[in-house]
Amino acid sequence: MKNTLLLTALVIILGLYFQNRSKEPKRLMPAPVSEAHILPSPTPPKKEAKLPLPEEIPHSLTMKAPPVQKQKSVKYPQVDETFAPFDAEGNRYVTQIVVVGRHLTYHGDLLVGDVKDLEKLKKQGEIKQAKPTKWPQGMIPYMVDPKIPNGMAALEAIEYLDQNTNIKFVERSNEKDYIFITDGDANCYSYLGKVGGSQHIFLAPNCGTKEILHELMHTLGFLHEQNREDRDRYVEVFWDNIPPEHAMQFKKLPNDYMGVLGRPFDYQSIMLYPSNLFSIDPNEPTMLGKNGEYFSPNQDLLSEEDVFRVNRAYPQRH
């Protein structure tokens, strides 16, 4: 009897114990930790703002030029402010220089020197550009920098001129005067005509065959078609939509200085700007045809008139 009572009491105690355990909150096993939680998250690299160097910021420099009233004896009189000024010997005053990277430019894509020459030019006060000098017998020694990405495009442009005009390009051996095509900054740049020595043509990475042809035409001595002295018969220029630093690119020049004397205006010339180039408002033109039409010149190859002018300037093939 005593044993029965003890067993009954033990059963009751065990029952109460397990009843209380069942009321305790269940403890969940922690989720397995992934490798991503164990390893520290990489700190994103700080982006440092790259400020342009002072010489990388395009800015305009105005040079001295004699006033219009002193131009009476000049070979090419400055009729009004739409004409570029010249001196008595027929040399053109470069009245505005734009500094782009390491280049001193005028007329958009023409070179007048290197940025290291800037202080000397400031002291000099005035720059003159003589009538472009031709390459003797139309023969041009050349070198193409093998490191530039558009070297093949440069060779294509050279081959095109060699096959379609009287110009003869030869790979440079030991010639003193030659063109050297190499890498540039934000644009394509060339000197006007033959200047002597190692004459650079600078190409930005995006300069293709058509842009290189344009620069080679400058090297041959040709300027932009819209600069003709008779251009107002064919196009209307909207000066209010042209930035002041680019106004010089629309100044008129004598036709014989440009090498287009007696030739018709060429709307298809590779040397003519499109209607909206250098617009302050890109939705408005800088130039229109006299009938109010937009024009987009042949920007891929030389026009028939371009070829004629080159062959007239260089009548004999070496």
Positions marked active-site: 215
Q: How far apart are CA 144 and CA 156, in angstroms?
A: 12
132 token code pair: 């472009």
305 token code pair: 């008139």
| H/E stretch holding 236 | strand 235-237
Secondary structure string (H, E, C) spanning 140-163: EEEEECCCCCCHHHHHHHHHHHHH
**How crowded is residue 135: how many other Cβ atoms within 10 Å of its Cβ?**
21
> DSSP H helical segments within the chain, as ranges?
2-23, 35-38, 118-124, 151-164, 209-220, 255-258, 304-313
| H/E stretch holding 169 | strand 168-171
* Sign of the torsion angle spanned by Cα atoms 281, 282, 287, 290: negative
Q: How far apart are CA 171 and CA 169, in angstroms?
A: 7
Which pairing describes strands 168-171 and 127-129: parallel, antiparallel, or unpaired?
A: unpaired
**What pairs with residue 183 in β-bridges?**
203
DSSP result, 89-143:
TSPEEE-EEEEETTEEEETTTEEEEEGGGHHHHHHH--EEEPSPPPPGGGEEEEE
Per-residue DSSP letter, 248: G
